[in-house]
Structure 1
């Protein structure tokens, strides 16, 4: 429903490599490093919690497990989260796990992309390597794509080139692994935040005035059907815009306000989720969880949709 809530981490046009690039709004850089594409509403389901605890991609495979299998594998994961082996899971340990799961996704995605683009296997990716793999067949002499298609891809290429240059700190157009990570996942790097703001404005600002007004803000997340009444959640978003986004109350968001919106410095999703899981599962209110408390509330942690724990349990977790 809310297409602004994306990913963390994964949907930028730079990482889409199996065919035509795409510039749909759901494929933009995620703004504030959220942990799930789902709305966090425990009254409806626990899908947000599942993806935060397990990771987005891994959570999709858990449908095949029975409740018994889910609880058994969850118990083994709890043993790994309990890093000091004191039989309790604390909020810091749970926070470290959630961050580990998120960072693992980023690292694995970068591994895949480096393998695809690093043609000479020197451990880095040049702009030329990236361009040839991603765009040369789309904007070259191939008659399969019409003039409008080619112009669209040229614009996308220029946008990727701008981001690549921003990520490439020394300006040699050869991205080290860290620089290529910043290119693919700019939301993870402080020095890339300005480009994230720029791309956000470009995606949402339809009248080209350099600002985002309330109608552009709503249109980015909601396209009504003919004669459809505006849902309550959209009305709530309009109020959010007025009360919390438009800080100077001039009816539009400037760069500073957009930066404040997409990079909230006082809001850590992972920390809040760790505390939330502790609060909801801590039956004796001692601010830490036993394995029994977690298993008794297993549906919040994994439910019927979670991760492929078989894969998780065969991984080395030395870095965790």
Structure 2
């Protein structure tokens, strides 16, 4: 959603490859791309519990090393140090591990924009880094200068919205809200506003069926509509336009692109406790977790076993 010069080329490439309804809807990603089927292995649980990158690291360890590292992790999860891992503690841990991809994205851009290395990013730093090469006389040398003016104005509006204290200097948390506004409640109204502006081509403050489809599909001359476009026409009438007035207003767009979320981290915490809580007191001891260590983390041994199963299935 970051409509800046730095991401324009990427957005164009994505728009050519992916139907727009897949890009617009902001779902929190599932915890793993692996199937959640314990009978076929615990890789989903490993990636949910550790994060995808850390799970790969554990796959290279011996069972002894893996269990030793897991024991230390259990101590970190037990926030109140009472010797038990509760559902809320496990839920918090899993959500924290899964949010790391956002922080990694922020870290990737941070040094680029923090030009004076003061640990903050001002609007001037962001503007100069993103648009500085083209800023002479307000993009006068560019053929599509009006597009760049709109992009800069939109970035400035989002930056000011993310900047809670209004000093035009973003802390790391504020810059995270700028890059990932869908993750912050106080930014979600702006996400809806930006979406409406993108699709509402005639500027009447609502989205008709032609605009809705036009955001997803622009046929070449003589090209017939794919089946998924016809399906989206039905979705507009049957599901998106809830008041049946022929348009999508801001409330209906909210229900479309920011739907109620399944809390995958909550479900995974419940699953892990249910499967490993041997005394059924609805909390886990370190002993219970280590007794089921291969559900929480992997190792060379468990990875080898999964490889054998995969080869057997292929045969």
Same fold (TM over 0.5): yes
1:117 to 104, 108, 113: 113
Offset at residue 193 of structure 1 (A): 0.9
Q: Aligned partners of 1:302 and 1:249: how far apart in 2?
A: 50
Higher helix share: 2
Q: How does 1:253-268 map to 2 (within 5 A)?
A: 253-264=248-259, 267-268=262-263
Offset at residue 251 of structure 1 (A): 7.3
Structure 1 position 128 matched with structure 2 position 128: no
Q: Kindly indicate whether the alpha-carbon contact (under 8 Å) linking 1:13 and 1:21 is maintained by their aligned counterparts in 2.
A: no
Q: Aligned partners of 1:147 and 1:47: how far apart in 2?
A: 51
TM-score (norm 1): 0.61
Q: Aligned partners of 2:168 and 2:78: how far apart in 1?
A: 43
Offset at residue 129 of structure 1 (A): 0.9
- SS of residue paired to 1:272: helix
Q: Kindly indicate whether the alpha-carbon contact (under 8 Å) linking 1:50 and 1:301 is maintained by their aligned counterparts in 2.
A: yes
Per the alignment, residue 22 of structure 1 pairs with 10
Q: After superposition, give the CA deviation of every residue in 1:281-319 in whole Å (9 maximum; x if it has no partner).
A: 4344332233454345555534479xxxxxxxxxxxxxx
1:202 and 1:284, CA in 2 relative to 1: closer, same or farther beyond 3 A? farther
Per the alignment, residue 70 of structure 2 pairs with 74
1:62 and 1:152, CA in 2 relative to 1: closer, same or farther beyond 3 A? farther
TM-score (norm 2): 0.62
1:99 and 1:196, CA in 2 relative to 1: closer, same or farther beyond 3 A? same
Offset at residue 256 of structure 1 (A): 1.2
Deviates more, 1:191-200 or 1:240-249: 240-249
Q: Kindly indicate whether the alpha-carbon contact (under 8 Å) linking 2:31 and 2:264 is maintained by their aligned counterparts in 1.
A: no
Q: Kindly indicate whether the alpha-carbon contact (under 8 Å) linking 2:50 and 2:94 is maintained by their aligned counterparts in 1.
A: yes
- SS of residue paired to 1:135: helix
Q: What count of residue pairs does the alignment treat as equivalent?
A: 281
Q: Kindly indicate whether the alpha-carbon contact (under 8 Å) linking 1:30 and 1:187 is maintained by their aligned counterparts in 2.
A: no
Q: Aligned partners of 1:282 and 1:252: how far apart in 2?
A: 51
- Let me know the Cα RMSD of the aligned residues: 5.0
Deviates more, 1:279-288 or 1:19-28: 19-28
Per the alignment, residue 181 of structure 1 pairs with 176
Segments of structure 1 that go 5 or more residues without pairing to the other structure are 1-10, 221-225, 306-320
Bigger radius of gyration:
2
1:175 and 1:213, CA in 2 relative to 1: closer, same or farther beyond 3 A? same
